[in-house]
Amino acid sequence: MSRLRALWRFLYIRRRWLTIGIGVKRWLVLLVAGAAVTSMGWVYLLLTFNREGWLPGPLYDGLTLRFLPLWLRVALPLLVGGLIILVAAVRLGKSLVEPLRGGEGAVVDSLYDFRRRDRGPQIVAIGGGTGLPGLLRGLTPFTSNMTAIVTVADDGGSSGRLRREMGLLPPGDFRNNLAALARDEALMTQVLQYRFGGQVPGTRDQVPGEEAPSLEPGPWPLEPSLSGHAFGNLLLAALTGITGSFDEALLAAQRVLALRGQVLPSTLDNVTLVGEVVMPDGTTQIVTGESAIPKAGGRVERVRLEPADARPYPPALRALFQADLIVLGPGSLYTSILPNLLLRDLAEALVHVRAPVVYVCNLATQPGETDGYSVADHVAALQRHLPAGCLDLVLANDNLSVPPETGGGQTQYVAPTPPAGVRLITADLVDEARPWRHDSGKLGRVVMGLVEQGKAEQGQPSPRPVGEG
């Protein structure tokens, strides 16, 4: 029985090399055609040698298999030659790729998955914080054609220090998204998120409203200026110094990490987020700084950017017009999503793009930003800041059954109340282990469904998945 399973595995792996769409058969056919054309030259050469008497008769008969029946003279060279070509092609491919992958099955499986993702839809996601990487992580099994447009308004933590001390655009949100799109995402997350002077962040999830996990001392003495910095932030700072600009540093980091997509800043301008916060006594307070707005102790009414005339990053605009789907969020409404959309030209572009624009609403309210908000309240806040006609769809979670105690008693679900003027789609999106966050797998599958739905409504053919005829 074990021998039969081994034989089946052997044949299955080799059959997969002929799967439709992985880009192997076309070159195999070209190889066979080249061999056929070359063989015609050898046939003419043999005929010429025989006609001119340069070959002894018995030798000519042996080379041309004249001692066999006619049908066998035709079938045998075709069969043997075809098998030789096939084995040579597979072995050549294995020899070229095997050093990069482990096992023959892994080679063809990797090729299959690469081709399928390479043909995936163009999806642009706009946001920042920790919500956007979760979305990207959920989409990586389906497509490599992803663009993350990330806010540059962050001014807290390690990013804020680098911004103040080096004049660098805040790298923290970019670091998170680079890790999510890296081919070895688990390892790169640990590397890029490693904080000097402490343990790898993420070994324990932070509960909403709770202080960040304390950092344990590192294994070697450090300069005080390095303590608390994430390695990914320092990497982007170093690459900025090497390349001369932050956008070139991002491109270099994407090449180093072999990303399944791209990460772009929404703008290269040094912008500051300013909020209008209504305090409990009814007065309005102007709060400056992305990290200060949630701590103001009031209700956020509006936010704006300074300078108001900041211009979007041109490649980010191009990505919007090339997209099959544009996703806003998930993420902090006022401090992660809106800072990108406050760029006037970027917001106007959302009105004119061909792709549907969907807003992914957070699962839980965020203290200091969206206390008591429903889905309708989130959408109303977006509409206060955006031109009319930007939003096509809203995606919200409808699984409210996971006990809040799972999240340390801090989870307050966003009620899926229908917003005015925008179509609402609901689905189970909750991560049951962390009910304040989206489940990446669930979210990715629903978003891919929206892509196919959008193509169907526009009358566009969906890309043929690899493996289908």
Global confidence as pTM: 0.74
3-class secondary structure per residue, 308-344: CCCCECHHHHHHHHHCCEEEECCCCHHHHHHHHHCCH
Q: Is the model's pLDDT at 223 over the cut of 60?
A: no
Q: What's the whole-number average pLDDT of the chain? A: 81
pLDDT for residue 3 is more than 80: no
Distances in Å between the alpha carbon of 37 and those of 50, 194, 344, 423? 21, 58, 61, 60
Predicted local distance difference test score (pLDDT) of residue 208? 41
Q: Which residues contact 174 (CB under 8 A, 6 or more apart)?
A: 150, 236, 250, 263, 265
| pLDDT at residue 77 is higher than 50 | yes
Strongest mean pLDDT among 21-25, 82-86, 388-392: 388-392
| pLDDT over 50 at 255, yes or no | yes
Report pLDDT for 294: 92
Give tens-digit pLDDT for 179-214.
999 877 778 888 888 887 744 444 334 444 333 443
Q: Which residues of 200-209 are buried (b: 16+ CB within 10 A; e: fewer)?
A: ebeeebeebe
Domains of the chain, each with CATH number or no CATH: 2-105 (no CATH), 119-457 (3.40.50.10680)
Q: What pLDDT score does 39 carry?
A: 79
Give the whole-number percent of the chain exceeding pLDDT 90.
46
Q: At what angle do helices 2-16 and 104-118 cross, to 10 degrees?
A: 40
Please report the pLDDT score of residue 392 as a whole number.
94
The pLDDT-based confidence of 410 (bands split at 50, 70, 90) is low
Residue 418 has pLDDT above 70, yes or no: yes
- Summarize pLDDT for 329-344 with one digit per residue, the tens: 999 999 999 999 999 8
Q: What is the mean pLDDT of residues 17-42?
A: 71
